[in-house]
Amino acid sequence: MSEVSKVSITIPSSSEFVGVVRLALSGIATRMNFSIEEIEDIKIAISEACTNAVQHAYPNSTGTIEITALIHEDKLEIEVHDTGTGFHTNVLGSPEQKEKSEKKLGLGLGLTFIKNLMDEAHVQSEPGKGTTIRMAKRRPTDVLS
């Protein structure tokens, strides 16, 4: 079985640190020989996941966001986890969610962007327990040995 390298970053749930995560993941993706376009896709997907946590996870308190990158032979897997308010996943894409997003001047397209830009995307959330967004981008086939 091939080895999986793990890189973990924990940031305060604050907007100024989203760029730090983007930069770190961009570095990892570059080392994995992803193309410039694929690296841009990964940067947007990770930012959307972190932005979601910053905006919604800790409305009345402070908290942290844990980002884990798993470097597989054939893909980059990323997990963004918070222990904030969480939500019922059946509200995703609902008018209620769209309205909530528009109040924050958003488009409500964060998850859509993640799903469109990555090869895998999955949201797990439970009210009161937090949210985990997992996503993955397959490694370019021409760099696999």
Partner 1 sequence: METMGNPFSIIIDKDHLSPTVRIQGEVDIHTCPELNQQLNILISEGHKTLILNLEKVHYIDSTGLGIIAHAARNIQSDNGKLVLISSKPQIKKLIDMSGLKDKNISLFETESSALESLVS
User: Per CB under 8 A, which region of 3-11, 38-46, 121-129, 134-142 contacts partner 1?
Assistant: 38-46
CB closer to partner 1, 38 vs 79: 38
CA dihedral 101, 60, 135, 27 (to 10 degrees): 110
Residue 91 is a binding residue for partner 1 (CB under 8 A): no
Residue 116 is a binding residue for partner 1 (CB under 8 A): yes
Shortest Å distance, C-beta 87 to partner 1? 18
CB closer to partner 1, 7 vs 72: 7
d(CA 17, CA 86): 21
CB 67, CB 78: distance < 8 Å: yes
Residue 37 is a binding residue for partner 1 (CB under 8 A): yes
122-126, Cβ contacts within 8 angstroms, sequence gap of 24 or more:
123/89, 123/92, 124/89, 125/86, 125/87, 125/88, 125/89, 126/86
Residue 40 is a binding residue for partner 1 (CB under 8 A): yes
d(CA 34, CA 28): 9
65: left (phi over 0), alpha (psi -120 to 50) or beta: beta
Binding mask 42-81 for partner 1 (x = CB under 8 A): -xx--xx--x--xx--------------------------
Q: Pick the binder of partner 1 from 63, 112, 124, 138 (CB under 8 A).
A: 112
Question: Which residues are at the interface with partner 1 (CB under 8 A)?
Answer: 15-16, 18-20, 22-23, 37, 40, 43-44, 47-48, 51, 54-55, 101, 104-107, 109-110, 112-113, 116
